[in-house]
Structure 1
């Protein structure tokens, strides 16, 4: 009994020590799963806005340059414009039968139209950037990996659609997309009725926007996460504070 009483304080001390260690482990685990936010507490609103706008000018320039050139869409598998869903099955069947020429020509024409339209986006994005408020900038900086891209989607999509539509239409006329589409339908005689009505201009404009925003999002992620992409002291101050 005496021995048991002597051991009790020892057991108690060991238990307390174990619980203390467990508490530290849990705290460490909690901090490990918390998202790493950019610390902007020591930066003024003007510096945050200036840094963010500088980063977005770079992102916009890179995204537009990479898409608005020959093969900018066509050779980039992430954004290449493929046949509309209504035509995809027909196109696949034609290729299997060795009749893929008209299908390939149609895809090339759609992608060329997108490549000619995207340079128009730069001025629209930069105009939206000028209207960005301090509050917008802080929310974007502390937001998700594509918060700025999402901002541009909200503020610029309608204007981009309006700007792209006539360029895409004219480009599709110039490269003969409509004629290529008609040739494809003639080659797929017996199946063309399955496609119903199809607005190719509208489809290409929508896919052009999708591709441009995808590339803009990739550029934004790179600047946020890659120190090598933070090429100025201001970018390092704003994006390098974790």
Structure 2
């Protein structure tokens, strides 16, 4: 009888110990989750350190650059976006008007489509150049961007990436213009126009023109993304972004 009671007591002790351990684990998990939530709420406020500002700006710009470049590097990324769509070169717009007036709409349309296709091809190479510029950004650059004008990041990219973009885009645009027959279409268009009596012959460096327009389009999209994260609280997708740009909001108010 005594042996049975001893066994029962031991079993009861083991069951209690197991329950206590399980309860402790569950309570610790709950405590951990509550602590994490409190930590998140706290870390999203206050004055960010210089390092946090640098990290926040770089995170925001990588998100914006990826979104902008990805939009432009797909089919109709330029052609279907009125803000960046590439039209005839200025010196050829009179040519276009004249040729459309005599029924050569298809020829004009072919030129415009092919110019935009070339820019879309080139845009695929933009992201690595921008990402490299972000990585090389100093903490001073980041602070100046955060507390600067609403286009401060865009202006920074123009300053540090334009030369690289021109160098990278030019051969891609040149190859693409030939691939999509833009050079042929444009040659046909100017040839038709130059045959008309009393007109001034038109000659355009298409590679240079499309390269510059492609770069201009990229900066337009970068500016959109920059404005979005500055003005739209919903675009601040992480605690760090909320803290850094919330601080900027207070400094500017």
Take 1:130 and 1:193, find their aligned partners in 2: how far apart are those partners?
52
Residue 126 (1) aligns with residue 138 (2): no
Is the CA contact (8 Å cut-off) linking 1:67 and 1:73 kept in structure 2?
yes
Is the CA contact (8 Å cut-off) linking 1:87 and 1:195 kept in structure 2?
no
Is the CA contact (8 Å cut-off) linking 1:49 and 1:134 kept in structure 2?
yes
> Unpaired runs of 5+ in structure 2?
1-44
Residue 43 (1) aligns with residue 48 (2): yes
| Post-superposition offset of 1:89 | 1.0
Take 1:57 and 1:191, find their aligned partners in 2: how far apart are those partners?
53
Q: 1:229 to 1:77 in 2, by over 3 A?
A: same
Take 1:102 and 1:151, find their aligned partners in 2: how far apart are those partners?
39
Residue 227 (1) aligns with residue 210 (2): no
SS at match of 2:124: helix
**2:147 corresponds to which residue?**
142
Name which of structure 1's ranges 109-118 and 89-98 shifts more when overlaid on structure 2: 89-98
Q: How many residues align?
A: 203
1:175 to 167, 171, 180: 180
Instruction: Provide runs of 4+ in structure 1 moved above 6 Å.
Output: none
User: Normalization by structure 1: what TM-score?
Assistant: 0.80
1:11-65: per-residue Cα shift (whole Å, max 9, x none)? xxxxxxxxxxxxxxxxxxxxxxxxxxxxx98221100000000000000000100
> Unpaired runs of 5+ in structure 1?
1-39
Residue 158 (1) aligns with residue 163 (2): yes
User: Normalization by structure 2: what TM-score?
Assistant: 0.77
Aligned CA RMSD, in angstroms, stands at 1.6
Q: 1:191 to 1:104 in 2, by over 3 A?
A: farther
1:84-130: per-residue Cα shift (whole Å, max 9, x none)? 01100110122233211111100111100000001111111111111
